[in-house]
Amino acid sequence: MIFNIQRYSTHDGPGIRTVVFLKGCSLGCRWCQNPESRSAEPEVLFDARQCLAGCTRCCQVAPEAITRTADGRLDIARGKLSASAVEALVNCCPSQALAVCGENRTVDDIMQVVLRDKPFYQRSGGGVTLSGGEPFMNPELALALLRASHEAGIHTAVETCLHVPWHNIESCLPFTRLFLADLKHTHAGLFKTWTRGSARRVMANLQRLAEQGAQVVIRVPLVPGFNANEDAVRSIVDFAAGLPGVEQIHFLPYHTLGMNKYALLNQPYEAPGKPLDNPALLTFAQSYAHQKGLAAILRG
Ligand code: SF4
Ligand code: SF4
């Protein structure tokens, strides 16, 4: 189950890359800018602004879940949408008001897309990046894609939150050249409150990855109210600097570009409504990381 393949990306690892987005994540970060990626199942996104007055196409496809109300609104009872109804809704909407996110694709099919840009990878030092969601939540697909890319001579990277059992990662180690690994916080309680997950699990996996000699870049989203303060940054950088072989840390200031997607999924948005605006903290983060021997990069 994937939800996108993005070609010509320059933000997800070195060079020009094709990014394959796998669906499903074991965390529920409040600030997640890809909320459509979190469920492992296909999901319906609905934009009422694009819905055509008088149209009932989707109502006819899924009458048990989608109806027109007396005042002309479209009512979607998401809990009543069966898997077969969601499948039938793919390409049903003439105006893109209703879209289904997530599709089953074979490894061969995905690799055909990835291989198309091999000359660009070679010239730019790029390759393929698995992203998500959390790619290691689907270890069979991740392994198959990484192995096939590796065997085709393509550089491989994985963007990961590392909140998975170690064995999901371990099988992919021989075929993964670069891990772009999140370290969102070191404080167990705050991590749990804001992501619903375990900081200990993430940190243990990071430690093991580094000890196995994997190439790891640490990525830190800086989120107001969560970790966008000097104490949190200090503790994250201290942990990262203590990992053998880790040389780079990327700071990603919080933004709200994905906020609208929550409305499309009919989910509440529980993170701050404004982007991070704290230049002093960004300066501190970079200089503290340098002080600890890490190359620090700010990413938009
Ligand atoms: S098919 Fe699209 S335009 Fe038609 S009612 Fe459904 S969401 Fe609206
Ligand atoms: S780990 Fe990434 S994909 Fe998963 S919920 Fe958090 S921000 Fe979203």
Predicted TM-score (pTM) of this structure: 0.95
Ligand 1 contact via 89 beta carbon (within 6 Å): no
Residue ranges, CATH 3.30.70.20, the chain: 43-101
CA 32 to ligand 2 centroid distance, Å: 5
**Mean per-residue pLDDT over the chain, rounded:** 97
CA 105 to ligand 2 centroid distance, Å: 22
Ligand 1 contact via 264 beta carbon (within 6 Å): no
Whether domain 43-101 has CATH 3.40.50.980: the reply is no
DSSP string of 68-98, one letter each residue: E-TTS-EEE-GGG--HHHHHHHTTT-TTSSE
Tens digits of residue pLDDT in 111-149 = 999 999 999 999 999 999 999 999 999 999 999 999 999
Question: Among 8, 9, 63, which Cα is nearest to 299's?
Answer: 9
Ligand 1 contact via 74 beta carbon (within 6 Å): yes
CA 75 to chain centre: 29
Q: Which two tokens stand for residue 157?
A: 């990277």
Residue ranges, CATH 3.20.20.70, the chain: 2-39+104-298
Does residue 170 have a pLDDT over 90?
A: yes
Ligand 2 contact via 27 beta carbon (within 6 Å): yes
Helix, strand, coil fractions of the chain, as percent rounded to 5: 40, 20, 40
Mean pLDDT of the region 11-33? 97
Look at the alpha carbons of 46, 47, 50, 55 in this order and tell me if their dihedral is positive or negative: positive
DSSP E strands in 115-167: the ranges are 127-131, 155-160
- Which homologous superfamily is 2-39+104-298 in? Aldolase class I (3.20.20.70)
DSSP 182: E
Identify the burial level of 118 via C-beta atoms within 10 angstroms of its C-beta, where 0-12 means exposed, 13-18 middle and 19 or more buried: middle
pLDDT at 189: 98
Q: At what angle do helices 199-211 and 188-195 cross, to 10 degrees?
A: 110
Ligand 2 contact via 183 beta carbon (within 6 Å): no
CA 74 to ligand 2 centroid distance, Å: 29
Does residue 299 have a pLDDT over 90?
A: no
Q: In the chain, how many H helices and how many E strands?
A: 11, 12
